């Protein structure tokens, strides 16, 4: 689903009470707020949906796929997602 599709789906739920521009601004604000919470608190949890949290990847050695040469891959941080039990059940994820 793209942002355009998300905005259209949300707008349909409000039966045209909001414009696409307003829905787009609300969606941007929601995602900016979630990103800020993850940056500041290290996690964001939404009941019935799941939890986004910061994960740390350890440094490791990888290989250049063209030459086979070993290359160091530095430690990094990323965001992981753990779905809520109800959400997992509804989409069939084990």
Q: Check residues 52 and 87 and name the one with the higher pLDDT.
A: 52
Segment 29-80, tens digit of pLDDT: 999 999 999 999 999 999 999 999 999 999 999 999 999 999 999 999 999 9
How do 50-57 and 70-73 pair as beta strands?
Answer: unpaired
pLDDT, average across residues 7-36: 91
Please give the C-alpha separations between residue 74 and each of 49, 55, 57, 69, 83, in angstroms, as whole numbers: 32, 14, 9, 16, 28
Residue 16 has pLDDT above 90, yes or no: no
Q: Does domain 43-87 bear CATH number 4.10.520.10? A: yes
State residue 90's pLDDT score: 81
Query: Is residue 93 scored above 70 in pLDDT?
Result: no
């Amino acid at each position: 689903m793209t942002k355009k599709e998300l905005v259209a789906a949300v707008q349909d739920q409000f039966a045209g009470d909001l414009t696409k521009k307003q829905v787009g601004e609300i969606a941007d604000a929601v995602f900016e707020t979630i990103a800020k919470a993850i940056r500041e608190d290290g996690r964001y949890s939404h009941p019935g949906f799941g939890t986004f949290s910061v994960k740390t990847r350890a440094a490791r050695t990888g290989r250049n796929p063209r030459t086979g040469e070993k290359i160091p891959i530095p430690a990094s941080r990323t965001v992981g997602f753990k779905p809520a039990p109800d959400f997992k059940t509804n989409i069939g994820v084990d």
